[in-house]
Amino acid sequence: MKVWVKISLLLALLFVVGGCAPTEENAKKLAPAFELVDLDGNQQNLADYAGQKVYVKFWASWCSICLSGMEELNTLAGEENDFVVLTVVSPSSNAEKNSESFAKWFEGFPNAENITVLLDEGGTFFDEYGVIGYPTSVYIASDGTLVKSQTGHIGNEEIKSSFETIQ
């Protein structure tokens, strides 16, 4: 009899724990909202892209891996895709130049005419997005959920492929 009681209690516990497990619906996490200024002085909000998929690349001007992928990123940003391409740098934080120096430096950067650069003064959004290395790619679904974050260089074909599975 004791065995049946133990089994019954164990099964009841499993049902309770199983009922508390995250479902796909409540496991979704909204991407942290940002309000940043681009290099032209225009305010850009994540909310401006509501209903659209967004690819965000966090990078730094001193990061050789970041710089070696900029021409490829420029190509991606200039193509017709079903997602928006944004980049974020953090002036005066994480060894990055200040905003004025960065803007002047980027002005002369070759093959970057399609790249939108947002300035995250002090790195607030780098922290909110959990950026721990450069470059970091962030994929945001059209419903505003943060789908994935990936550190390291990601090629254009892999970025496009990832967005094929994102709503």
DSSP assignment string, 53-95 = EEEEEE--TT-HHHHHTHHHHHHHHHS--SEEEEEEE-TTSTT
Tell me the domain boundaries of the chain. 24-164
- Give residue for tokens 């997602």: 83
- Lowest mean pLDDT segment, chosen from 26-35, 50-59, 95-104, 107-116: 26-35
Query: What's the confidence (pLDDT) of residue 81?
Result: 96
Average pLDDT over residues 4-25: 43
- Lowest mean pLDDT segment, chosen from 23-37, 98-112, 127-141: 23-37
Average pLDDT over residues 2-26: 44
Query: What's the confidence (pLDDT) of residue 130?
Result: 94
Q: What is the mean pLDDT of the chain?
A: 87
Average pLDDT over residues 30-41: 96
* Higher-pLDDT residue of 79, 3: 79
The Cβ-side half-sphere exposure at 137, using a 13 Å CA radius, reads: 20
For residues 11 and 125, what is the distance between their CA atoms, to the nearest angstrom? 44
Strand order in the sheet with 146-151: 43-45, 35-38, 117-119, 83-89, 53-58, 136-140, 146-151
Kindly tell me if the per-residue pLDDT of 11 is higher than 60: no
Query: What's the confidence (pLDDT) of residue 28?
Result: 80
CATH number corresponding to 24-164: 3.40.30.10
When pLDDT is cut at 50, 70 and 90, the band that residue 106 belongs to is: very high
